[in-house]
Amino acid sequence: MTKVLVTGATGFVGRPLCEILTQLGYEVRAAVRSGRPLPAAVGESVVVGSIGANTSWDEALEGVDSVLHLAATAHIVHDASRHEQLYFDTNERGTRSLAEAAARHGVRRFLYLSSIKVNGEGSGDHAYSPSDPPSPQDAYGVSKWRGEQALQEVAGRSGLEAVIVRSPLVYGPGVRANFLRLMQWVERERPLPLGAVNNRRSIVYVRNLCDLLARLLSHPAAPRHTWMVADERDLSTPDLIRSIGKAMDRPVHLLKVPLPLLRLGGRLLNRAAEIDRLCGSLTVDSELTRRELRWSPPVSTADALEQTVNWFMSENSPGVARS
């Protein structure tokens, strides 16, 4: 049985991924920071502590054939500038440390979950592709790009097969941050000043992402490439809100506020970055992924949004216990 080491196994992507890998017949070992409850699909775990340049990986990598590196530092909202070093400690130096240890242990393949933020914050009319020059705009994006470079450098001087996946926003049951906030706004039937927005955004359902990661573990074309991933169709922000409202059976109130006024309000309220994400376009070109890997997202956008909303509504139903 092929043994796979998964970092970030207790996270939003890691939990369903471990389940899928086990169903496919892989033996899953989780590298965890502490003794948190593990997904039922995880066969064993090794506590490695915080991920950085000095993390000891020897025990975790013993007998491992492939590595799926999901763990990362992300979404530092408060005092982000003061904590930028955490991005580089984990996402760059931690990735290099794990890649070097994997090469020493004879690991065959190393999958690194990166981010579309390596390409930039806004694609305009041109969907980002793997061949576009990276242009990260913040510390997180730069750290993920440096993590990619570190992995490629290690692979270039060893037998390690490097596989990189750049993902846009990931959603699904258990989602947090901006996507959760958007569902909360719709559920409360709040008027939203986004009716004049005419953009396109790529998103990916968590199980679609996991399905691709599982395929890349064994596909002969996977190594030495950067793969883009997205759901079957892109959505504008208003279309996403309407789709959420339809799945919730809630009326949606979209006010057509002119974009310059909306952006001005974002700056005045110190929420310019959030408004930019809601108004700007960020799309990825996953055509190469679909063609070369003969892959397509197994869950449609409509079904994925419905499943996400069903989770959200069940979590917010009266009488549901909160931990």
Residues assigned a catalytic role: 140
CA pair distance 30, 45, nearest whole angstrom: 4
Of 282, 170, 175, 289, the closest CA to residue 229 belongs to 289
- The strand pair at 161-167 and 225-228 is best described as parallel
| Beta carbons within 10 angstroms of residue 267's beta carbon | 10
In the 3-class helix/strand/coil scheme, how is 51-113 assigned residue by residue? Answer: CCCCCCCHHHHCCCCEEEECCCCCCCCCCHHHHHHHHHHHHHHHHHHHHHHHHHCCCCEEEEE
Query: Which tokens go with 314?
Result: 């069940």
Cα gap 100→249, rounded to integer Å: 51
Token match 């999958």: residue?
Answer: 111
CA 257, CA 133: separation in Å to the nearest integer?
34
